[in-house]
Amino acid sequence: MTLTKKPVTGMKDILPGEMQIRDYVTSLVKETYSSFGFRSIETPCVEHLENLCSKQGGENEKLIFKIMKRGEKLNLENAKSEEDISDSGLRYDLTLPLSRYYANHSNELPSPFKALQIGSVWRADRPQKGRFRQFVQCDIDILGDPSYLAEIELILATTTLLGRLDFKNFTVRINDRKILKAMALYAGFPEDKLDSVFITLDKMDKIGIDGVREELNAEGYDKDGIDKYLELFDKTTRDVNGISYLKEALDGYLDAETADNLETIIASVEATRSADFKIEFDPTLVRGMSYYTGTIFEISMDEFGSSVAGGGRYDEMIGRFTGQSTCACGFSIGFERIITILLDKGFKVPDEGEKKVFLIEKGASGDRICEIMKEASRLRSSGTRVLVCQMNKNKKFQKEQLMKDGYKAEDIMEFYNTELKN
């Protein structure tokens, strides 16, 4: 009986061509964020199940790959529920492990702490084209900084990265959970219905303002309140003065500082940006995660539909580990999305330098091999990539394969026992 050749359902083997692009993007990420003072960290891929299941019923919890207890701890006969046979699982994002990490190590870390983490996460989603059950996330977070400098730095660093990947014409949209809330309360929605109102609002870009109106109507909210609510969006969306307008309109519902900060963030990013993008206030931006407490932001490109990065402030998460709330603001970069875009547009990793192939005749003498290896070594130490391998019986096919793999005909040298051809 032979073993199974295919990867497990929903996961994928990465071929060298794609891997080269992934490696390139990874090193560009590390280099770029490092220039902003971010430090690489790593957390284990396995987390306590108790922590993974703590985000109060998020969809992600259902998708956890749970790991079986082992040895004496595993008592199959008496097992009644999944908790009896599992107490850990594979992480499904990097934010929860980072929060645990910071809670565990904050006294060994600078304050504020700027963290970069690139790593695989796992979700047992229904397999579908282009979505895999193991995928890479790339998160940057600033912990312990209460000021909007955190937001500015996160946005500047990430847009610099996208610019270096030659992405153009993208848009940073920014909002604040406190503005979202103030707008809804001002319009008279009951406080305990806000999450449901935001779920509807989040569909604005798909169903338009009329679709949102219809849905809110269907939910039975007060018609005048809905009008009052939607008028706010009419007056502020994609409007440079949107924030100033809200500052006045929402007086009594919104603290001036929140609005001022948002204006400063936008102004600072606009004044400093090095890449080709725009930043705008978007009062319809919701972002799903319930753990956000302040600013929220997202980067999207018209030509690619969905967003390539998103994040926000989550000042209450670390407190779930320590009992003390701690400022935290983060950006999650859509690593897999970026790789897909690059692959789709036929991206080539820039300038790889010289490369050669040495094909050596089968049966070459030991002395001849020494001579050839010395030559390979000489070239390598001067920066040339040299692939040494035995010449196959079907030399023509072997050379075709090598050329498919990126070598040119003139890069391929043939060595025989006595003389050098080509």
Q: What residues numbered 114-143 form the site for its own copies, per CB under 8 A?
A: 114-115, 120, 122, 124, 133-134, 142
The sign of the CA dihedral 414, 419, 420, 422 is negative
Burial class of residue 251 (count of CB atoms within 10 Å of its CB; 0-12, 13-18, 19+): exposed
395 touches its own copies by CB under 8 A: no
Tell me the two tokens of residue 229.
Answer: 């609510």
Told to check if 422 binds its own copies by CB under 8 A, we report no
Tell me how far the alpha carbon of residue 213 is from its chain's centroid: 33
Work out how close the CB of 43 gets to its own copies at its nearest, in angstroms, rounded to a whole number. Answer: 6
Is 413 an interacting residue with respect to its own copies (CB under 8 A)?
Answer: no
244 near its own copies (CB under 8 A): no
Closest CA to 17 of 356, 342, 399: 342
**Candidate ranges 1-9, 197-205, 243-251, 302-310; the one touching its own copies (CB under 8 A):** 1-9
Taking the C-alpha atoms of residue 138 and residue 140, their distance in angstroms, rounded to an integer, is 7
Distance CA 19, CA 193 (A): 46
65 binds its own copies (CB under 8 A): yes
Looking at residues 14 to 33 of the shown chain, list those that interact with its own copies (rule: CB under 8 A): 14-16, 19-20, 22-23, 27, 30
Only segment of 150-158, 224-232, 280-288, 330-338 that touches its own copies (CB under 8 A): 150-158
Question: By the 8 A CB rule, do 312 and 297 touch?
Answer: yes
Which letter does DSSP use for residue 35 in this model?
H
Query: Which residues face 90 on adjacent strands?
Result: 46
DSSP string, 230-256: HHHHHHHTT-TTHHHHHHHHTBTTB-H
Q: Is 43 in the site for its own copies (CB under 8 A)?
A: yes
Of 29, 95, 112, 294, the residue at the interface with its own copies (CB under 8 A) is 112
**CA dihedral over 295, 317, 199, 181, signed as positive or negative:** negative
Which of 370, 408, 417, 420: binder of its own copies (CB under 8 A)? 370
Q: How many residues does this entry show for the chain?
A: 422
Query: Which 85-104 positions form the footprint of its own copies (CB under 8 A)?
Result: 85-86, 88, 90, 100-101, 103-104
Rank residues 185 and 388 by Cβ distance to its own copies and give the closer one. 388
Q: Is 8 in the site for its own copies (CB under 8 A)?
A: yes
Place of tokens 């609510």: 229
d(CA 64, CA 265): 36
As measured in angstroms, the least distance from the Cβ of 305 to its own copies is 27
**Does the footprint of its own copies cover residue 340 (CB under 8 A)?**
no
Q: Which listed residue (94, 201, 328, 386) binds its own copies by CB under 8 A?
A: 386
Pair 94, 43: CB distance under 8 Å: yes
Unique residue bearing structure tokens 């990874």: 26
| Least separation in angstroms between CB 334 and its own copies | 18
From the number of C-beta atoms within 10 Å of its C-beta (0-12, 13-18, 19+), residue 236 rates as: buried
* Cβ count near 34 (within 10 Å): 14
User: Per rule CB under 8 A, is residue 189 in the interface with its own copies?
Assistant: no
Instruction: Count residues binding its own copies (CB under 8 A).
Output: 116
Of residues 262 through 301, those in contact with its own copies by CB under 8 A are: 263-264, 267-268, 271-272, 274
The answer to the question of residue 209 lying near its own copies (CB under 8 A) is: no
Query: Tokens 């153009």 map to which residue?
Result: 168
Return the residue of 348, 405, 408, 417 that touches its own copies, per CB under 8 A.
405
Which of residues 60, 66, 185, 233 is near its own copies by CB under 8 A?
66
37 binds its own copies (CB under 8 A): yes
Is 2 an interacting residue with respect to its own copies (CB under 8 A)?
yes
8 Å CB contact between 254 and 246: yes
CB 263 within 8 A of CB 241: no
Instruction: Specify the residue, 142 or 299, whose C-beta has the smaller distance to its own copies.
Output: 142
Judged by beta carbon, residue 271 or residue 409, the one nearer its own copies is: 271
Residue 241 touching its own copies (CB under 8 A): no
Q: Which is nearer to its own copies, 57 or 146 (CB)?
A: 146
